[in-house]
């Protein structure tokens, strides 16, 4: 059985362009060594299956034969090591990326994205477990994803992580360039099959990779060569727009650089992008205003639950300067009526989540205004999901959510089924933190019994909750509040 799996993987490696026929014996011997096998029989029929499925079956074999323990990290390390046998050295992949780039930027990213999937660095079997759908709202279609892709840690994995705690500081974080080819260890994921490609941005080398758990098409990460804290400034806007100039089929954006409103990794300067049409960048203008200092830049507030200024123009440098002008004005802006306070003593509260695109000859920057202040009523953040939506989502609202994609916890699968049973009278109660919402839904949908209709209702109500999440995170709740800031910028 194991030999059939190995032959199947080799066949897929050739079919997917990972290796050539001439590499077959060499790669096979490398895989045999990893699986502690000393020979290979003749006339083996290859197992016909996908690369991820073949790998899963090979890992099951390794566990059953006591080659590795039945522990998540050990299984992931062996999986990555096996696929590393099929991958070229980083220098060869980088050279191939550049060759494709001379054909077109899209050809280069198509090559690299397919490589990242075929090498199983992008965990497609796990990602396919996610439940994703769209919900129509007053702001357009919102994307909803219930995240089931990241496997839960079993007790043995948790035990080993506690026992193997150490002061190892290599790589410094999950985004450092030193992760390329790193074998992994308990508590740090395997990266043997990980490759990155250099992108030159404003006299600095940055690196492009894809997220191992993509939330949308070609979900990529652009990371600094240097391990340094995230910072939103003039250079950020210049890098984002320069990247979209080099890769006009991709958007590129940044999480904010402050806790609460920022992303999960603020210790390493990085951006996120991809080839996907989110709803927010395509939202209509709510109203257009004049930014007196930059008359050639089209400036608008868009129709979106968060507070977004959109800059559009043909001249990249003008947009960069306009964005930095707005950021500097916003960083020091306070408005008691809007509950906005720029600083508490030396602690800053105002920052920006920027998203860049290039549309034909027009550059575009969407600047999402953020504030991370807390108070006794909202200890997790005044402009953060409020307590009435915490039963759905209470985590930070980062770049992905800002653009209109809700990434929701896996617990909701069972909990939403429980609420559906409650609505139709099959159960008398639900999980306590959902009870108030469930009561509202039961009163609203009194004659609902069709299963398909009930499923659609729950999707719609989940989308409505996500809109409320975004509204909570918006710093300006009405046009009058926004107008005061515009007047401040033009004063």
Write down the CATH number for the domain with range 127-405+476-490. Answer: 3.30.428
User: Helix or strand or coil: residue 405?
Assistant: strand
Q: 436-478 pLDDT, tens per residue?
A: 999 999 999 988 877 889 999 999 999 999 999 999 999 999 9
Average pLDDT over residues 87-111: 98
CA pair distance 400, 317, nearest whole angstrom: 26
Contact present, 439 and 427 (Cβ < 8 Å): no
H/E stretch holding 312 reads strand 308-313
Average pLDDT over residues 323-342: 97
Q: Where in the chain is the domain with CATH 3.30.428?
A: 127-405+476-490
Q: What is the pLDDT of residue 262?
A: 84
Q: What is the pLDDT of residue 383?
A: 97
The pLDDT-based confidence of 157 (bands split at 50, 70, 90) is low
The pLDDT-based confidence of 167 (bands split at 50, 70, 90) is confident
Q: What is the pLDDT of residue 151?
A: 72
Average pLDDT over residues 232-250: 98
CA pair distance 72, 393, nearest whole angstrom: 27
Average pLDDT over residues 399-403: 97
CA pair distance 211, 218, nearest whole angstrom: 8
CA pair distance 478, 307, nearest whole angstrom: 9
Q: 246-272 pLDDT, tens per residue?
A: 999 999 999 999 999 987 789 999 999
Any idea which residue has 């600083």 for tokens? 343
| Mean of per-residue pLDDT scores for the chain | 95
Beta-carbon neighbour count of residue 31 at 10 Å?
A: 22
Distance (Å) of CA 330 to CA 46, 92, 289, 367, 368: 62, 45, 16, 11, 11
Q: What is the pLDDT of residue 154?
A: 64
Q: Residue 146 corresponds to which tokens in the numbers above?
A: 């219930």
- The secondary structure of 73-106 as a DSSP string is HHHHHHHHHHHHTTPPPHHHHHHHHHHHHHH-HH
Q: Global pTM? A: 0.94
Q: Residue 325 corresponds to which tokens in the numbers above?
A: 């002008």
């Amino acid at each position: 059985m194991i030999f059939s799996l190995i032959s199947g993987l080799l066949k897929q490696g050739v079919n997917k362009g990972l290796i050539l026929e001439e590499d077959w014996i060499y790669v096979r011997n490398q895989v045999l060594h990893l699986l502690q096998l000393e020979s290979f029989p003749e006339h083996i029929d290859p197992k016909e299956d996908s690369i991820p499925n073949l790998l899963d079956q090979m890992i099951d074999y390794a566990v059953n034969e006591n080659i590795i323990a039945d522990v998540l990290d050990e299984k992931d390390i062996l999986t990555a090591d096996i696929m590393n046998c099929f991958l070229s050295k980083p220098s060869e992949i980088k050279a191939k990326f550049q060759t494709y780039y001379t054909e077109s930027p899209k050809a280069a990213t198509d090559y690299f994205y397919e490589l990242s999937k075929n090498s199983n660095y992008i965990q497609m079997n796990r990602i396919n477990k996610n439940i994703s759908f769209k919900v129509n709202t007053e702001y357009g279609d919102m994307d909803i994803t219930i995240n089931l892709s990241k496997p839960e840690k079993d007790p043995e994995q948790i035990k080993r992580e506690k026992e193997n705690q150490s002061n190892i500081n290599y790589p410094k974080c999950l985004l450092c360039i030193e992760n390329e080819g790193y074998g992994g260890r308990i508590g740090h994921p395997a990266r043997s099959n990980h490759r990155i490609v250099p992108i030159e941005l404003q006299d600095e080398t940055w690196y492009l990779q894809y997220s191992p758990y993509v939330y949308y098409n070609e979900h990529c990460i652009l990371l600094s060569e240097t391990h340094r804290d995230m910072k939103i400034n003039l250079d950020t806007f210049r890098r984002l727009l320069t990247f979209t100039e080099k890769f006009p089929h991709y958007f590129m954006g940044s999480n904010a650089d402050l806790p609460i409103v920022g992303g999960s990794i603020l210790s390493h300067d990085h951006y996120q992008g991809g080839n996907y049409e989110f709803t927010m960048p395509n939202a209509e203008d709510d109203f257009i205003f004049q930014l007196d200092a930059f008359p050639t830049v089209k400036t608008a507030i868009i129709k979106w639950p968060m507070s977004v200024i959109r800059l559009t123009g043909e001249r990249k440098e003008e947009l960069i300067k306009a964005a930095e002008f707005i950021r500097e004005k916003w960083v020091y802006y306070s408005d008691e009526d809007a509950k906005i306070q720029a600083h508490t003593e030396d602690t800053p509260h105002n920052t920006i989540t920027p998203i860049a695109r290039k549309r034909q000859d027009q550059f575009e920057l969407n600047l999402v205004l953020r504030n991370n202040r807390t108070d006794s009523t909202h200890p997790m953040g005044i402009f953060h999901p409020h307590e009435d939506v915490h039963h759905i989502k209470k985590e930070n609202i980062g770049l992905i959510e800002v653009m209109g994609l809700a990434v929701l916890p896996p617990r909701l699968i069972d909990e939403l089924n429980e609420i559906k049973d409650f609505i139709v009278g099959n159960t008398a109660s639900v999980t306590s933190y959902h009870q108030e919402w469930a009561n509202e839904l039961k009163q609203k949908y009194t004659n609902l019994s069709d299963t398909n209709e009930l499923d659609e209702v729950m999707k719609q109500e989940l989308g409505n909750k996500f809109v409320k999440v975004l509204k909570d995170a918006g710093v300006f709740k009405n046009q009058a509040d926004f107008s005061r800031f515009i007047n401040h910028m033009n004063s």
